[in-house]
Amino acid sequence: MAETAPLLQVERLAKRYPVSGRRGALLHAVDDVSLHIAPGESLGLVGESGCGKSTLVRLLARLIDASEGRIVFGGADLAEVPARRFALRPERAGIQMVFQDPTDSLNPRYTARDTIAEPCRLLAGMDAAAANARVDEVAEQVGLPTALLSRFPHQLSGGQRARVGIARALAPGPKLLILDEPTAALDVSVQAVVLQLLDRLRRELNLATLFVSHDLNVVRLLTDRVAVMYLGKIVEMGPSQQLFAAPQHPYTRALVSSIPGHGPRLRLEGEVSSPIDPPPQVCRFASRCPEVQDRCRREAPVLHAGVHGVACHFAKATEVPA
Ligand SMILES: Nc1ncnc2c1ncn2[C@@H]1O[C@H](COP(=O)(O)OP(=O)(O)OP(=O)(O)O)[C@@H](O)[C@H]1O
Ligand SMILES: [Mg+2]
């Protein structure tokens, strides 16, 4: 793989929330996460509900503040900028997010044109005429007919609202697009169309994307690399084809076995351990791991850097032919 300077470099990022009613207790939503995304690259993020995917992408979009770690983008450490001040930073235009439910994230009193024009003016510093021209340009890119631009969200279909949300994210010319379950709120018939649109846009515009989805088949098809999260940590990360063809971590193996056609279904037993003050020396997956050994409760495995990393004492990342 050719080495290009990463667009985004995340180092040892953590987010811990205080637990109400339990003084001093902390919920570890994201723990010691390091990753990078190259320009134009698509990274998938998968893992079961509650493992920290949305918290991680919200940290990267600078909607919430990190407890620890670095988020290096465009040569600056964005983790040092408080979330409430991030809107004023020039990098704000470079990282844009498409939210899960366009109905919730669109202002009901704004027309589609107002919605898309807003980041052009506020983030990209365009005057009204330039913003209007930019709205027409991105509306065409996302397949939104000009006639719909004067409508309010409630006058649009779910698929059309999703296109408005995507157009708004593209409007200030981002280099990184963060997609948190971008089609989860849509009708099944529209999901595939919107996913194809996102895939086409990222290729045409050479956009880097971070793509969170529960649909592993979609992640396999639409991403270059994938990161697998379990209880706040990345347990495996590597090229998508290789990772899905030969998952190494026992958790990834169980996850991949749930995709039809990927061998017999491996069902995990045991309880998910608590994200509140997890013992640092114990593997987070130990309580459910079919291959657990004594060492896993004495020494937490770390994810080794490399093309295909696995955080397990007993798994080895192997190169498989593409
Ligand atoms: N604002 C918050 N305050 C306290 N705890 C939070 C907060 N936001 C998230 N959490 C906790 O952090 C953990 C990770 O949540 P997160 O929403 O990131 O998971 P997720 O992987 O996105 O799940 P899903 O697939 O269901 O969207 C969970 O245990 C959740 O309860
Ligand atoms: Mg989520």
User: How far, in whole angstroms, is CA 316 from its chain's centroid?
Assistant: 26
| Other Cβ atoms closer than 10 A to 94 | 19
pLDDT digits (tens), the chain, 322 positions: 455 789 999 999 999 999 999 999 999 999 999 999 999 999 999 999 999 999 999 999 999 999 999 999 988 999 999 998 888 788 899 999 998 877 788 999 999 999 999 999 999 899 999 999 999 999 999 999 999 999 999 999 999 999 999 999 999 999 999 999 988 888 888 999 999 999 999 999 999 999 999 999 999 999 999 999 999 999 999 999 999 999 999 999 999 999 988 888 998 999 999 999 999 999 999 999 999 999 999 999 999 778 999 999 998 655 544 4
Could you give the CA distance from residue 109 to residue 258 in angstroms, rounded to a whole number?
A: 42
Mutate to test the pocket of ligand 1, among 13, 22, 26, 27 (most ligand atoms within 8 A of CB): 27
Q: Which two tokens stand for residue 99?
A: 């939210």
65 CB under 6 A from ligand 1? no
What is the CB neighbour count within 10 angstroms for residue 223? 25
Q: How many CB atoms lie within 10 A of CB 17?
A: 15
- Say if residues 12 and 68 touch (Cβ distance below 8 Å): yes
Q: CB of 209 within 8 A of CB of 7? A: no
Q: What is the pLDDT of residue 5?
A: 85
Give CA–CA dist 252/244, Å, rounded.
Answer: 9
**138 ligand 1 Cβ < 6 A:** no
Does residue 49 have its Cβ closer than 6 Å to ligand 1?
A: yes
